Structure 1
Amino acid sequence: MSQPTFVLVHGALTDASVWRRVSVRLQDAGYPVIAPALPLRDLDSDLAYLHQFLTTLDGPLVVAAHSYAGSVISAPGALTPAVRSLVFVTAFQQDAGETAGGLNGKFPGSLLTPENLVVRNYPGGAEVYLRPDAFAEAYAADADDRDQKALAAAQKPFDPAVLDGTFAGTPTWRTLPSWAVVSTQDRSIPAEAQRWMARRAGSEIAEVDSSHAVPLVHPDLVAGTILKSAN
């Protein structure tokens, strides 16, 4: 295909800045890159938001998702015909009728447990943060100390409703080529859950000994995987 635009979609607890090191590498390789911000209020509004955003871009497009954003890009209503391939980076690969919360509990090992979370009210609902003292272990154990502190301080909270969202229809990864980066030391989405989802999807898998914050810690590998998807 002709040169695509890379669309990098963040997940829960971090914003689009989680892609900053990957973005620079892709731009240095000569590709246009854009990283939208999801509302993180519920799955339906997130996939509607992403769909509308993608309609503003000229194709072809490669869409990469981190963490919860994998659930969003799995939903057929989130994408446009301009999307040619998908990259799931330590991300959910959700099927119709499933939920992100159910997938995260399918295998043991996640530290996104009630005792590690803080719930704060916002106008119209509640949103979830990781406790700052639990953030490094649960999300970014192999990041450097400054990154751990910055991530913990600038979390992008999510409404718990996002974890209960489902969709109908054929998931996108059944009809589009896909790649998956699996982090073997992930304490947010267990590595075995990532492997199970990626194998089910038939994704080309790259494993890395890293935490959930792999776009920040291993940007070369993540960028390389995204570049493969463009070829």
Structure 2
Amino acid sequence: SYGGAVITEAATGNPNVEALVYVAAFMPDEGEVLGQLAARFPGSDLNPALVKVPFTNADGTTGTDLYLSPDRFHAVAAADLPVEAASVAAATQRPLSASAFTDTATSAAWRTIPSWVAVATNDKAIAPDLERFQAKRAGSHTIEIDASHVAMISHPDPVADLIRDAARAQSSRPALAETGLNTSGIVGAAAAGGMLIAGAVLISVARKRPAIPTA
């Protein structure tokens, strides 16, 4: 989700980061604003499901935290999890600052670092067509999973395999990733009782040592 924007900025210029893995995530380019990027393709039900809660910043100004409405959480974020698991996740979710959708990206690490992408084909938080568009322009190794926004929880096996693939590929330090599309519709997986909506994994591969994926 928003974690994709975080690693896209944080990995830029970091020589220890050799691969980026995005799972149902934003992949902004330099100069893009997430709110505008999200609006480029239909299919997201996120905006009308958000609850806005004001808070006071350290400098005294007012900011806005965004939560998914508990009664919309299951349908928008976790439709392929049991209702009970989605309810726990809705109650324990962490907010996202509204400024995340208005800030401008200042760099795009995927332009110089190979990337792997999992498109969640039933995502109602980030439009699947946006996920496909981002992966295509980044030249990412891409899989598609028949999953909701929380593909990493409802379908952990293909997500874990994608992370391993990225780590293995980068252990030999290849050139920039070639574009590829491999679809997988996998049914049935363990669902977690609690979760944080996060759609990005950053892999840091230590040089001259086995690749170790870290989230």
TM range (shorter): 0.7 to 0.9
- Cα pair distance change 1:224/1:188, threshold 3 Å: same
SS at match of 2:7: helix
Q: Is the 8 A contact 1:128 1:158 kept in 2?
A: yes
Residue in structure 2 matching 1:100, options 29, 34, 38: 34
Instruction: Show the counterpart of 2:104.
Output: 166
CA distance in 2, matches of 1:79, 1:158: 26
Q: Which amino acid aligns with 2:3?
A: A
**Contact 1:110–1:187, Cα closer than 8 Å, also in 2:** yes
Match runs of 1:35-114 below 5 Å: 67-75=1-9, 80-114=14-48
The answer on 1:227 being equivalent to 2:164 is yes
Change (3 A) 1:213 1:79: farther
Superimposed CA distance per residue, residues 190-219 of structure 1 (whole angstroms, 9 cap, x where no aligned partner)? 000000000000000010110001111011
Structure having the higher helix fraction is: 1
Which fold has the larger relative contact order, with Cα–Cα distance below 8 Å and residues 6 or more apart in sequence? 2
Measured after TM superposition, the shift of residue 137 of structure 1 is: 0.6
Q: 1:187 to 1:79 in 2, by over 3 A?
A: farther
For residues 72 and 216 of structure 1, the distance between their equivalents in structure 2, rounded to whole angstroms, comes to: 20
Shift of residue 149, structure 1, vs aligned partner: 0.6
Aligned-partner SS, 1:230: helix
Counterpart Cα distance in 1 of 2:160 and 2:84: 22
Aligned residues: 163
TM-score (norm 2): 0.72
Q: 1:76 to 1:122 in 2, by over 3 A?
A: closer
Contact 1:73–1:79, Cα closer than 8 Å, also in 2: no
TM, length-normalised to structure 1: 0.68
Query: What is the aligned-residue RMSD (CA, Å)?
Result: 1.4
**Number of the residue aligned with 1:200:** 137
Matching residue of 1:118: 51
Answer yes or no: is the 8 Å Cα contact 1:210–1:217 preserved in 2: yes
CA contact (8 A) 2:11 2:17 kept: no
Specify the SS of the correspondent of 1:150: helix
Larger radius of gyration: 2
Determine the structure 2 residue equivalent to 1:182.
Answer: 119
Shift in alpha-carbon separation, 1:181–1:150, aligned structure 2, 3 A: same
Runs of 4+ in structure 1 deviating by more than 3 angstroms, as ranges, are: 76-79
Equivalent of 1:154 in 79, 92, 97: 92
Structure 2 unaligned blocks of 5 or more: 58-62, 169-215
CA contact (8 A) 2:19 2:114 kept: yes
Identity across matched positions, percent: 40
- Are the aligned partners of 2:5 and 2:26 in contact in 1 as well (CA < 8 Å)? yes
> Per the alignment, do residues 79 and 148 of structure 1 end up closer, same or farther by CA in structure 2, a change over 3 Å counting?
farther
